[in-house]
Amino acid sequence: MLLSLVNSLAYRQRRPGPNPAAELERLRIGAGQIFDDIRSGQGYFKTLSEDVKLAVVAEILTRLIQLGGRTRRGGDPGLLRLLDAAFTHTAAHSTLSSLLEQLRGKWQEEDHMPLSTPSTAPP
């Protein structure tokens, strides 16, 4: 997961041009800096950069959706309990609900997918 996260964050900074080899080298250096930033942090999720936190939350969301699908296909309604207080109690805007809202806003800004509010969602 860490490798895909680092590569994804670095690739967001791509600048296609006439010299692909130079661009790949620039992206390699950028990925190394992102990796160093993650590893040299204080070890707390709330101290990570906003991009890293949102990427981690997107990965968590993806895996939860996959887990839910497997659970339903297995015939069980499933139950998810988030037990870590870090999901709900923090002053660093790192709660799961806060990060999900930020991620949704980022997706809207970047026009990645049409999003609807619960009141306008199709039946």
Going from N- to C-terminal start, the domains of the chain cover 1-40, 45-113
pLDDT greater at residue 70 or residue 86: 70
Q: Mean pLDDT throughout 82-95?
A: 70
Say yes or no to pLDDT of 113 above 80.
no
Residue in the structure block whose two tokens are 């139950």: 79
Say yes or no to pLDDT of 108 above 80.
yes
Residue 99 near residue 58, CB atoms below 8 Å: no
DSSP 62-73: HHHHHHHHHHHH
Q: What is the pLDDT of residues 4-62, one digit of tens each?
A: 788 888 888 888 889 999 999 999 998 998 898 888 877 777 778 888 888 888 888 88
Say yes or no to pLDDT of 118 above 60.
no
Quote the Cα angle for 75-96-103, to 5°. 100
Residue in the structure block whose two tokens are 């990427």: 55
